[in-house]
């Protein structure tokens, strides 16, 4: 064994932090008809860190993920990976620069088993990268890390949503990304499961994988994130450490405002 198990999951090229952010989003705007889904969004995700992206429902988090991964063309603005502009690249070319994502609305390969989902992704990676680690080794390691061993042989469309999201996480990991974009991967998990997810994310970051995390579970976000961006009505209203974000009046207004609305609705 020349490569350790942990190495199989780590990014395939140099892991030394360069100081530059791995991801930079610059003045991105998206308009759907007359609706401004995103307005002048700027954010960064640093090497080997977990960056949070939070905000109320409909704030534009998934739209931003779609812009970053190339599924949604922005009305204006640019996206950079490792300082390289990728705004004009097709989704698969962006993925080949080392980013992978999960989807809020499940996009699993439903007619394949959990193991085959992960294996397929490892094979995709093998086909476009110079890395020649056998896909089966990568897939086995991913299955072990995520803990999918006992459902590896089950078709994914038969799995409960919480597990299917973890299959998507495993699938993304199998392409050995430097940047992992997770869109509510923890929804559908209970407290203990979320805690285990947090541990996994922290260990991935330690291995050099940068994570951009969209999540509603504040406990998880506050526990694992190094930096948090808060999105509200398509704008970044606050960027800071967990402590700073929790103190920020704009953030409190955004969340409390939502809470008062909810309170009124139930009253």
Give the Cα separation of 172 and 185 in Å (integer): 11
Q: Return residues touching another protein (CB under 8 A).
A: 69-71, 90-92, 94-96, 99-101, 103, 107-113, 115-117, 119-121, 123-125, 127-128, 135-136, 139-140, 143-155, 157-160, 162-163, 166-168, 170-172, 175, 189-190, 192-197, 200
Smallest distance from another protein to CB 237, Å = 27
Q: Are 54 and 230 in contact (CB under 8 A)?
A: yes
Closer CB to another protein, residue 149 or residue 257? 149
Give the Cα separation of 154 and 145 in Å (integer): 18
Closer CB to another protein, residue 222 or residue 258? 222
Closer CB to another protein, residue 30 or residue 124? 124
Smallest distance from another protein to CB 265, Å = 22
Smallest distance from another protein to CB 164, Å = 10
Smallest distance from another protein to CB 248, Å = 30
Closer CB to another protein, residue 168 or residue 184? 168
Question: How many CB atoms sit inside 10 A of residue 98's CB?
Answer: 22
Alpha carbon of 125 to those of 5, 95, 121, 178, 208: distances in Å? Answer: 18, 9, 6, 13, 18
Closer CB to another protein, residue 161 or residue 241? 161
Find residue 43's DSSP bridge partners: 25
Give the Cα separation of 228 and 14 in Å (integer): 25
Give the Cα separation of 117 and 106 in Å (integer): 13
């Amino acid at each position: 064994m020349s490569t350790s198990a942990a190495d199989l999951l780590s990014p395939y090229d140099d892991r030394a932090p360069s100081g530059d952010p791995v991801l930079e989003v610059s003045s991105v705007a998206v308009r759907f008809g007359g609706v401004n889904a995103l307005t002048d969004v700027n954010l960064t995700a640093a090497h080997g860190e977990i960056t949070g992206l939070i905000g109320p429902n409909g704030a534009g988090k998934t739209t931003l993920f779609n812009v970053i991964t190339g599924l949604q063309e922005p009305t204006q603005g640019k996206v950079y990976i490792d300082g390289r502009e990728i705004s004009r690249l097709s989704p698969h070319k962006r993925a080949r620069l080392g980013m992978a994502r999960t989807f809020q609305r499940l996009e699993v390969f439903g007619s394949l088993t959990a193991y085959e989902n992960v294996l397929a992704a490892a094979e995709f990676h093998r086909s476009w990268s110079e890395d020649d680690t056998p896909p089966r080794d990568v897939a086995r390691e991913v299955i072990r890390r995520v803990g999918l061993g006992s459902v590896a042989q089950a078709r994914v469309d038969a799995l409960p949503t919480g597990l299917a999201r973890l299959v998507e996480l495993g699938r993304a990991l199998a392409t050995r990304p430097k940047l992992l974009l997770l869109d509510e991967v923890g929804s559908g998990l209970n407290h203990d499961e979320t805690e285990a997810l947090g541990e996994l994310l922290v260990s991935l970051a330690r291995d050099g994988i940068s994570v951009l995390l969209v999540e509603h579970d504040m406990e998880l976000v506050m526990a694992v994130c190094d930096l948090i961006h808060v999105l509200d009505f398509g704008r970044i209203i606050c960027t800071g450490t967990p402590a700073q974000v929790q103190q920020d009046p704009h953030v409190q207004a955004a969340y409390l405002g939502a809470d008062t609305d909810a309170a009124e609705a139930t009253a």
